[in-house]
Structure formats: C-alpha cells, structure tokens
Structure 1
C-alpha cells in the first residue's frame, strides 16, 4: 500500500486545480483518472460545444450578409469534417494543457485507471492500494438515456457523440427542450439540418419564467426549428435506415422520421461503480453524493466536488467547489456552498444569462417586489449589430433595495449579467448599480436604465 497526503478521484474541472493548490502546500497527491483528463467541460461539454456554436454563428452571420451590406454566394457550403476537426483541436489543446500542468507538479502523480474504495481511506486502482487521510471525489456525470418504448431498438446519440459527429444529419430530432438540447438544435439547423425539438413539458426550459421560454421558442422557430412541446408519449421504432419518433399517442398521429436522434433529457452522476459503500459515503436516490455546506461527505476525511454532488451542474460551480474546499483546508477560511449565487447561461444565439431568482421564485418568497423589463431593441449595441432579439429584466426586494434576480436574453447577455451578479455578491443596494456609469456603446449600459424603471410588481 502506498501512502499520500491526499487522493483525488477524477481529473475534471475541480480535480487538477485542487491538485495544484495541494502541491503548492507541499502535500503529496495522487490524482486518478480512468478516461480523459479535463472531464466533461474539456472533452464533451463547454469547450467543443461552444466551438461548434461559434462555427454555426459564423455561418448564420454570413447568410445575413445582405443585412450588413455584402453578398455571400448561396448556398453556403458547410464542411462538417473541418467543423468537427476545429472542435477536436480545441479539445486536444485543452486536454494537453491540463496534462502538462499536472506533469509539472513535483508532488503530484497522475494515475490512469479506475478507482474503487476498499475502506474509508483506502482506494484500489490497477491492482494497487493507495491510502490518504484526505480523499476528494470529482468524478462528474454522464448523459441519461431513459427507458422509453423502443429506445433499445434504435441508435441514440448523446452530447458525447454529437461533438464527435463529422457529418450533417438530414433530420435531427432532439429529445429534450433544455440547455444542451437547444444549443445542438440551433447549431445544426444553422449548419443545414432539418431539426425538430421534442419536449415532454408544455414549454421549453421549464425552470425559466414563461416569458423567457416563449421568447426562446420564438427565436428558434424563426430559424426554422420545429418544436413539439407537451409530448406525452415518446417512443421509437426502426424505419429502414431512419428512426421513427412517436410524440403523440392519439390514434392516427404520425411519427417524425429522423435520420439522427439526440437524447438530451438530463445527466446522472458517475457514482455507481466507486465502491462508495465501503467508505461509508452516502448517496441520495438519484446517486448524487450527499455533502454538507462545506462539501464534506458523510465519511470523515472525504469530500465530493463538481457534478457528482448535486450542488451545481456547471463548470463554474465545480471550480467554485474547488475554491471552497481549498480555502477551508489551506487558508483557514469558512467558505460554504450556500454563499454561492446561482448563475448560468444558455448558449443559443442570442444567449440567455440568469442570476438569482426567477420572477416566479421571487413572487413565491412573499416579499414586496420591484420589477423592470426592457427589450433588447432599446440597446444601442444590439441595434448596431443587427441583433435585437430578446430582453433584459430585473426583480428586486422593495424593502431591502437588493436585487433578487435578473435575466438577459440577448446579444452579449452572458457577459453583461456579471455587473448584476457582482452587485448581488457584494450585497449592494439597487442604487450602487443604478449610479454606475457603464461604457458606451455596450449591452451593460442599459442595466442602470432598467433599474431606474423598477416599479411594484
């Protein structure tokens, strides 16, 4: 048995960063990765998908050449092999950078293999047993493939398959009308595929307010994407080389005939084959590791970070998990997950950026509320770019004068939201942002005006 000061299981977003801090503190670290260094973000998530989104945006802008005063020959020819190769180059570059970074850490050993607990502080990998007083689990998650009628009879793609796809589907059916599904739906429509989105709920991205869902649907449908909400009877069947997708159980209803089907209905944690029971680590009914506010598990000396703990499903929350654990262990601080503001973005074009409460959540809180909403057509930068779809809105507490939440659906919204997020993090009143002087011409410059228009909801 070999001993280390710390063992990290998984080299996703949090793992290598934590290894770096522990290495700087002079601690010996084993970081174990069974597949690809960098985790979901680098290999099948943020990095490749946003690279593909950028390619699709460039194609879309070229098609709108007349709007900007130039002509591009139609039809625009899409070389999907080059599109996929560009994404692959970004993946490999990021992964290689992470691997080189870990290799340069004097007290860190990267071990390739599958780790399983054999006791509270014992991990087995490649036939070897390792022990450490501190163990950190950072194993991420994977796409869910639910049990639907006929699903085992047809080929189904996940986000992992999509980022490696180097051909153009004739007709892509996306099962799931939320973040991952909508990003792929729009990009492949822009590349030239026929696209249909199938969603069980009555509207897209059901966690958002109804006005956001409706506006996103309008944006996608305007680009020729078919959307079937309220699909309460999804099933699959072979039809030659194609797939028949049933969305309605009514007698005589016709299935959608697809060349490709993307399953984008959620993710599950990679916790089912770690031997967690041997370490006394408790998971919930969905397999997420139960952690407290400092990310400590039910087993002393074991922490869980990133997607596997159910406390956030984003790269930035995984990285913040690392920051919380490192600050508490190495810097003598008392950082907690409950101090984190929920913020995220949906990277369709234009993007949707969100922080804090939705309008619906704020109304349920029982507070006296102030609310304001402005269309992006009132933003000079959006007009100048010819990208005026969407709106921005803010909800605030009328008594404390604190912003409770905001949404920006519009060009540059994923960047502009941070002015609001920073004010909320700093616990500053509305007036602190209202009297800021943003740079012109930017999307952010309309935020103080939106705050000026706050009125009782």
Structure 2
C-alpha cells in the first residue's frame, strides 16, 4: 500500500489546481486520471467548442461583408479539416501543457488509470493500492441519451464524438434544444450544414425566461436553423449512411449525422463508492455539504460530479473553497456562490442570479429593467443589434436579484452587475458610475435608472 497525504481522482479543472496547491505545501499527492488531463473543459467542452464558435463567427461575418461595405473576391468557403486542425491544436496546447506540469511537479505523482475505492481511505489504480487521509473526487460527467427507439441501431454522436468527425455534416439533426445543442446548432449551420433541432419542451432552453428563449430561437431561425418544439414520438432508424428521425405530426428528417444533447450524468457509477461509504443520489451525483465534503469523512467531491454546478468556473470555485478551508483556516461555503453562466451562441447570453420566474416564486417584490440592444450604440455600430439586457431588483432592499444580457459582449458586460451582487451593494451604487463610451456596459446604469414595478 503506497501512502500519500492526499489522493486526487480526476484531472479536470479543480483536481490539478488542488494537487498543485497541496504539493507546493510539501504534501505527498497522487493524482489519478483515466483519460486526458484537463477534463471536459479542455478536451470536449469549453476549449474546443469556443474555438469552433470563433471559426463559425468568421465565416458568418465574411458572408455579411457587404453589409459593412467590404467586398470579397468570391463566395465564402469552409475547409472543415483546417477548422478541425485549428481546434485540435488549441486543445493539444492546453492539455499537453497541463500534462507536462503534472508530470514535473515535485511531491506530485501523476498516475494513469481508473481509480476505485477499496475502503474508506483506500483506492486501487490498475492493481496499485493507494491510501491517504484526504481524498478528493473531480471525476466530471458524461453525456447520456434518453430512451429513444432505434438509437441502439444508429451511429449517434454525443458532444465528444461530434468533435472528432472527419467531414462536415450535410444535415445535422440535434435532439435537445438546450445549451449544448444550441451552440452546436449555430456553429454547424454557420459552417455550412443544414441543422434541425428537436426539443421536447415547448420552447428552447426552458429554464430561461420566455423572452430569452424566444429571442434565441428567432435568432437561430434567421440563420437557417430549423426547430421542432414540443417534439413527441421521436424515433430513429438507419438510412443508408445517415439517420432517419421520425416524430409525431411532421415529416421524417433525413440527416447525415445525429447529435444527442439531452443531459449529462456524473462519472460515479464505477468508482466503488460503496466501499468508502460515499452516498450518491438518483442522478448519480455525490451529495456534499457546504464545504463540499461527502458523506464519508475526509472525502470531498468537486466539479460536475457533486451536482452543485456544471461549469468550469464552478469547479474552479470548488477548488478555491476546499483549499481555503483546509489550508488557510477559512470557512468558505458553496452556498455563498451566486449562480452565473453563459450560453456561447453569437451573440452570447450572460446570465446571473435568479430568473424572473425564480424571483417571483421566492416572493420578491420586483423592479424590472429592460433595454433592447438596438438602443445600445456599440451594438448598432457593430451591426449586431440582436437581443436585449434585463435586470431584476428587489423593490424593498434595492439589491439586484438577477440579470441577463443577450447580445454582443453580453457575457462580459454582465459581470459588473455580478460584482455588485457579490459585494452586497444596492443597485443605486451603479447609477453614478461613469462607464466608458461606447460600450455595452455603459447602458447598464441607464437601464437601472429606468426600473419599473414588475
């Protein structure tokens, strides 16, 4: 049995950062990874997809060149192998850099293989036995598919496999109209594929407020993405070298490729958690307390596997919380974190705090602010006026409860309001703040100065 001070299972966002911090403090650390260093974000999530978003945006703007008085020599073409090669190079640089650091760090042993608990503080990795008083799980999640008739007979894709295709799809059918599905829908439409999205709910991204859902659908429809909302009776079958997608009340869809983007499940099913007394819920997530400790003393769960956040930034904050509490004598809590995330369509959505439905359900008296991007000079000057900004304020406390900016630079501009929320400062503090012109952010005080009861 090899003894360590700490074992970290998973080299996603939280795991390596914590391993580096522990090793720098003189602790002997084993970090175990069964696949590639960097986890979902680096290998199959943020890094590759946002690289594709950038390529797709260039193609889209090139097609719009005449709108800006720019004349191109001919029609815009897309070379998928070169697009993919650029994406793969960006991924490799990030992944290989992390791998090299893990392999070179003093006090850190980087092990390749699958880890399983054999006891409360014992782990086996490919026949090698490890033990440590502290164990940290950063094992991520994977895409899952609903029980769709015929799915076992067709070569369907998840987000990871879609990134490995060697040729651009002729017609990409996407089952799932939420964040992952919509980003891929716009990317592949802009790169030249036909795209059809099937969503069981009556609107896309149903957790968002209706105005956000409707605007994003209209935006993508304007680019040629087709939608079947409230889709029922979905079934798939092989069709030559493609897939036929059938659904109630509509003609069958003849697709060359099928992406299933209908949810994710934590990678907890084969970790031997029972041997360590670690509880899991019905979704496979590991319940944790406010300090991210599991039901087993001395074992923490970070990142997507704990069900407390499905984002790179929440995984990184998990690391910060655990490191601060264990190493710095602090008492940080995951419930102090304000919900924030983005949908990286173009233009993007930046979302913080509560939606309007959540705020009303919580019983808040609301002040509501709204401003279309068509009244934001920066958006007009860029020729990108799709979307709007909105904010919710508690009428009694004057605190911002939530906000959304769907529009050019919205994923960046929204952070000013997020910072105000984190600081516990009322919205009125922004009213006298002078912002740079011309920016998207400068219209936030204007919007806050025109709040109305909602």
Q: What SS does structure 2 have at the residue aligned with 1:286?
A: coil
Q: 1:355 aligns with which of 332, 341, 352?
A: 352
Normalising to structure 2: TM-score of the pair?
Answer: 0.99
Separation in 2, partners of 1:406, 1:247: 36
1:83 and 2:83 aligned:
yes
1:312 and 2:301 aligned:
no
Instruction: Assess if the C-alpha contact under 8 Å between 1:37 and 1:95 holds in 2.
Output: yes
Aligned to 1:267: 264
Q: What SS does structure 2 have at the residue aligned with 1:237?
A: strand
Aligned to 2:38: 38
Cα deviations by residue, 1:257-292 (Å, 9 ceiling, x for unpaired):
101000001111000000000000000011101111
Separation in 1, partners of 2:330, 2:158: 40
1:213 and 2:213 aligned:
yes
1:10-409 to structure 2, matched below 5 A, reads 10-248=10-248, 250=249, 253-409=250-406
Instruction: Assess if the C-alpha contact under 8 Å between 1:395 and 1:405 holds in 2.
Output: yes
CA apart distance, 1:367: 1.6
Count residues with an aligned counterpart. Answer: 454
Normalising to structure 1: TM-score of the pair?
Answer: 0.98
Q: What SS does structure 2 have at the residue aligned with 1:444?
A: coil
Q: What SS does structure 1 have at the residue aligned with 2:414?
A: helix
Separation in 2, partners of 1:316, 1:79: 32
Separation in 2, partners of 1:149, 1:432: 55
Separation in 1, partners of 2:148, 2:72: 44
Cα deviations by residue, 1:163-212 (Å, 9 ceiling, x for unpaired):
22231111100110011000000010001101001000000000000011
Q: What SS does structure 2 have at the residue aligned with 1:327?
A: helix
Instruction: Assess if the C-alpha contact under 8 Å between 1:198 and 1:247 holds in 2.
Output: no
Separation in 2, partners of 1:166, 1:318: 31
Separation in 1, partners of 2:348, 2:247: 28
CA apart distance, 1:71: 1.5
Aligned to 2:432: 435
Instruction: Assess if the C-alpha contact under 8 Å between 1:189 and 1:224 holds in 2.
Output: yes
Separation in 2, partners of 1:13, 1:207: 26
Q: What SS does structure 2 have at the residue aligned with 1:187?
A: helix
Q: What SS does structure 1 have at the residue aligned with 2:173?
A: strand
Instruction: Assess if the C-alpha contact under 8 Å between 1:176 and 1:200 holds in 2.
Output: yes
Q: What SS does structure 1 have at the residue aligned with 2:352?
A: strand
Consecutive unaligned residues of structure 2, counting only runs of 5 or more, are none
CA apart distance, 1:73: 3.9
Cα deviations by residue, 1:351-394 (Å, 9 ceiling, x for unpaired):
01100001111111112110010000111111111000000000
Q: What SS does structure 2 have at the residue aligned with 1:142?
A: strand
Aligned to 1:422: 419
Cα deviations by residue, 1:410-446 (Å, 9 ceiling, x for unpaired):
0000000100100000010011122211111111111
CA apart distance, 1:105: 1.6
Instruction: Assess if the C-alpha contact under 8 Å between 1:83 and 1:166 holds in 2.
Output: no
CA apart distance, 1:336: 0.7
Q: What SS does structure 2 have at the residue aligned with 1:299?
A: coil
CA apart distance, 1:74: 4.1
Separation in 1, partners of 2:130, 2:266: 23
Consecutive unaligned residues of structure 1, counting only runs of 5 or more, are none
Instruction: Assess if the C-alpha contact under 8 Å between 1:140 and 1:269 holds in 2.
Output: yes
CA apart distance, 1:102: 1.5
RMSD: 0.8
CA apart distance, 1:233: 1.2
